[in-house]
Amino acid sequence: MKKTIIIVLILSIASSLSAQKTKNSSADSAQKIKVGAESIEEYLPMVQGKRVAVLSNQTGVIGNTHLVDTLIALKVNVVFIMSPEHGFRGDADAGEHVSSSVDKKTGIPIKSLYEGNTGKPSSELLNQIDVIIFDLQDVGVRFYTYLTTMARMMEACAENGKKMIVLDRPNPLGFYVDGPILDMKFKSGVGWLPIPVVHGMTFGELAGMINGEKWLNNGIQCDVSVIKCKNYTHASMYTLPVKPSPNLPEMRSIYLYPSMCYFEATPVSLGRGTDHPFQMYGHPNMKGYDFKFTPKSIPGAKNPPQLNRVCYGVDLTKEPSIEEINKKGINLEYLIDAYHNLNLDNFFFNSFFELLIGRDYVRKMIIAGNSAAEIKSMWAGDVAKFKEQRKPYLLYPDNN
């Protein structure tokens, strides 16, 4: 009887998803992609009768229903939820302290991995469970911290003999690889693995690569299973159904993110505290620009750079086109433009810059007056090397 009820619930969820897709039939073809979380029949047998933890946030949805709610409906024993940067609901500022709490809807405890800034659960916590379900939406860039969260969780599972299940989701930047491979002397929370800035892989693929390349401490390996996406290829243009964090509210911000995030290591505002973060840049002292904006304190950007100051600079909300942005990949022209305009020499950058870009030659070449194209040519070998290195771990068709 119990098995019959579970089957009925799965069919009901699948029917709801099908109806939703029919309703959204005018959406782009990427919406036909089936994310790992939708393949309930594949991972449900792996968690039935087990003590389960779920590492997820607001992106961990099956249609319009959160993964946690689906698991509870299927009578899965979810002992606690773990939340990454920005919290379980995804509304905290970057790097903001997020406390552990209780999910109001289900009453399940939420354990913040950002509390205490450890990023890794304790053995005492993991002793309470048998298996971890990981379901986070990545944006495909090395310095987006959810990748570090996954790697550290794999390490914790390996050290404590726990099973991990990755419910894979598409990479919205999975159609290209760009940027230098991280020099591990700059390893940090925004750069944990020796991969390029734009790696072009899904979390499921990266989980296999982390194990295969023995990147965890002392070469240990995690017992990890990946529930693959269906109908996804690395050529897919996938539109995220839920914003992954407060300051990446739309696809244009995500496409510009690999080129714009370096302003975080400078005094220049990249639009935090506006309606279009990562789609503009400016500073009160920049000259020769008519475009202006004023960063305000808003949810998800409570204290943005240049708060309440009028900034002059460049508007990227309409131009260049999405096609041009993606064709160029990482574009350092914006950073170089602001560097020369402000004329601050080495005071333009702080030490966070190398943690983001992953190499020390980029700052030196900008100061020396090299062009964006000249700098980009320096990491061409890294891109070619990584494309070969990752081939055994790709789970989806790739034409790169």
Domain-wise residue ranges, the chain: 32-227, 251-359
Using alpha carbons, select from 125, 123, 75, 133 the residue that is nearest to residue 100: 125
The answer, yes or no, to whether residue 2 has pLDDT greater than 70, is: no
> What is the tens place of the pLDDT at every residue in 272-296?
999 999 999 999 999 999 999 999 9
> pTM of the prediction?
0.88
CATH class of 32-227: alpha beta
Give the Cα separation of 175 and 369 in Å (integer).
31
Element (H, E) at 227: strand 224-227
C-alpha triplet 216, 219, 222: angle, nearest 5°: 60
The answer, yes or no, to whether residue 145 has pLDDT greater than 60, is: yes
Which tokens in the block code for residue 271? 């639009």
Work out the average pLDDT over 14-27.
42
pLDDT the model gives residue 206: 98
> What is the tens place of the pLDDT at every residue in 321-370?
999 999 999 999 999 999 999 999 889 999 999 999 999 999 999 999 99
Quick check: helix, strand or coil at residue 91? coil
Which amino acid, one-letter code, is at 363? Answer: R
Res. 399 pLDDT band, cuts 50 70 90: confident
The answer, yes or no, to whether residue 97 has pLDDT greater than 50, is: no
Mean pLDDT (the chain) is 89
pLDDT the model gives residue 29: 46
More confident residue, 6 or 174: 174
Work out the average pLDDT over 30-41.
87
The answer, yes or no, to whether residue 86 has pLDDT greater than 80, is: no
Work out the average pLDDT over 148-154.
94
Element (H, E) at 224: strand 224-227
The answer, yes or no, to whether residue 91 has pLDDT greater than 50, is: no
pLDDT the model gives residue 3: 53
